[in-house]
Structure 1
């Protein structure tokens, strides 16, 4: 069985959550390959170096590259190559199963597995450019129709897929994402939080105890609601800062958030860190008094588990996939109600803190990339077996 995995949809200069997902899952799958099984990674010259260290000692045999001209740094050209070049190139490598986000116009392999990560073209259209939104709305229905299997990461996403698309429910396979426990853990030393705080003071100017938000600054992530909640609870929160970690991918919205902080009178208490390497976010989680994730829509909400795995109390929304991911180990609040978010923050910083830390560690331990990889590889095998018998 030869599986081709489409890694072209990530911009090498601005890696997304999908990049993190595959860099965790591919090595785990590589160690589980048997017989004549191989993984062929679709990369561009710009992205190849970030996908070059996978697999066990026989890496050269088990995990290989198929080079396409562009990845998402040239989105339109990348999309065209997926539709026009993939049906020509993949058969040359004898690909049996193609794993991708959108189905090419012509099927490039006998088996087709698609990963639906989000349906933001429908659920959060403002986070998607008009051209991308149109393309996705045209492509999703056809992709759902021709796919042999569709991987989703939550029951919430299953509900969205069935609501917006005409799809056979039997095609939907729930495979949750996971947390990297080698990176996200409370730390080996009792003073790990103090060490993290010292590092953040030196690197990013975080000088006080703080409430943490980690996410790209899209409107649906509801950083605006968090700013209002922080302002409402500021007196009871005492001498705490609000630390915002994440790139402002929507420039006008990022400017609106900064203006809102000034309007609310909390600008001096907000630290705009910007984007940081994912390996650095563990420092913020370890040092924070509470992590707040008040998004209006998530298909999984991986930062919830990352924070829990470090022993950080979590407050998140009571809608979409967030209660499902939190699994009873976070305080839930209405994301449209800043007063409710603020009260949950106060509870998480106070009487509920120890219980949330304990529950969060247990909840995060239920998710591993090894389990995600094993279930994904098993689905590839099942699709290959069905297609091979036709």
Structure 2
């Protein structure tokens, strides 16, 4: 393993804000800290997605990880900082720079790192293709801006999945030799220790509540489920999305069986995963699917949208858990099947999920990144 390094992560949102990227970056930062590296995170003081109002503190000691929050503005599609000089200083003081979002800090971070001769690692996290919105423009941006900047910076790219790698290399083939597929990972210990006590008929949907997450499709499918069920949706709710989903549930005649619980902490997440008879993942676009991974590691039966990221996670042993959420009848059949499992089948699905999740532990990803540090000559 390389010696002690000054490691910088640049990310749009960070704890205590919730999300898959936020969880991965935090777990990776803490794992690097445990390995003796000095770790900093540069992020924004405001939640540009709009879930958490107001400003967070300018600095935070996150159990040994130094968090620097910069003033800035933006939305879910693009964010900027008003203090690029402070980003530049953080890059100057680092031995290696991890960039986690093309929508924040990437252009400035790449340019600063190039000028200061700091090695750059870009984590893809689905790139910018989480939704079909402005797809042609996004592809043009990768071809004409992001790809060339990565080339100029001599960056190494850490693709969190094969679909991420394929999407990038298709648009910027010259980056193929510098692109490494290191499947995303998290600290699984939090969820592996959960004792399961499932409630009959309880369907759980965890994660950010946003228009891009396909929750309306899940409601339409649930309205067709012919066995008893009730749904609990938990996660930070984007402005206006709660009211929209309540209206959809009312129109479908299922409002009395749907509860929107709002944000949750680690303790509440453990309770949801303990109680869930099945956990569902309707998102039509994910770079990886960390909430799905957590459910698998906890031994929860799952139904997930048939997208490349989910398929990569579940693998052949659990391919039957994939359905097309744009087909409500197919989803309804899948949920019904999970809600009526025999105890023996339920135990086997839990075993398969836990076994599959093991390959996505944070230690494996940290080992791969330490190997990349060594390859880059960082000591």
Fold match, TM over 0.5? yes
Alignment of 1:248-259 (within 5 A): 248-249=237-238, 251-259=239-247
For residues 68 and 355 of structure 1, the distance between their equivalents in structure 2, rounded to whole angstroms, comes to 45
When the two structures are superposed, what TM-score results if normalisation uses the length of structure 1? Answer: 0.77
Q: Contact (CA 8 Å) 1:111, 1:148: kept in 2 or not?
A: yes
Moved more, 41-50 or 14-23: 41-50
Give, in whole Å, the separation in 2 of the partners of 1:368 and 1:12. 19
**Cα distance, 1:260–1:322 mapped onto 2, change above 3 Å:** same
Q: Which residue of 2 aligns with 1:286?
A: 274
Per-residue deviation at 1:308?
A: 1.4
Equivalent residue number for residue 98 of structure 2? 99
Larger of the two Rg values belongs to structure: 1
TM-score by length of 2: 0.79
* Displacement of 1:127: 10
Residues 112 and 148 of structure 1 are in contact (CA less than 8 Å); yes or no, is this contact kept in structure 2? yes
Residue 10 (structure 1) aligned with residue 13 (structure 2): yes
- In structure 1, the partner of 2:48 is none
Q: 1:339 aligns with which of 329, 332, 339?
A: 329
- How many Å separate the matches in 2 of 1:298 and 1:20? 14
* Structure-to-structure mapping, 1:142-161, within 5 angstroms: 142-145=148-151, 146-161=153-168
Check the 8 A contact 2:204/2:272 in 1, yes or no.
Answer: yes
Q: 1:204 maps to which residue?
A: none
- The CA RMSD measured in Å over matched residues stands at 3.4
Deviation track 1:139-184 (CA, whole Å, cap 9, x = no partner) reads: 5234432342011111111122223445421111112222433210
Of residues 53, 61, 86, the one that matches 2:64 is: 53
- Residue in structure 2 matching 1:264, options 252, 260, 265: 252
Could you tell me how far apart the structure 2 residues matched to 1:74 and 1:227 are?
Answer: 26
Hey, what's the Cα distance between the residues in 2 that align with 1:77 and 1:300? 22
Residues 326 and 27 (structure 1), Cα distance of their counterparts in 2 relative to 1, 3 Å cut: same
Instruction: Specify the SS of the correspondent of 1:213.
Output: strand
43-52 vs 293-302, greater mean Cα deviation: 43-52
Contact 2:42 2:69 in 1 (8 A): yes
Gaps of 5+ in 1: 55-64, 198-207
Q: Residues 221 and 177 (structure 1 numbering): CA distance in 2 closer, same or farther, change over 3 Å?
A: same
Structure 1 residues 81-119: Cα deviation after superposition (integer angstroms, max 9, x where no partner): 34x44445543x3x3322223242332333111112122
Alignment CA distance shift 1:39-1:180 (3 Å): closer
Conserved 8 A contact 2:201-2:339: no
Any idea what the Cα deviations from partners look like across 1:265-293, whole Å, max 9, x if unmatched?
Answer: 00000011111114421211111110111
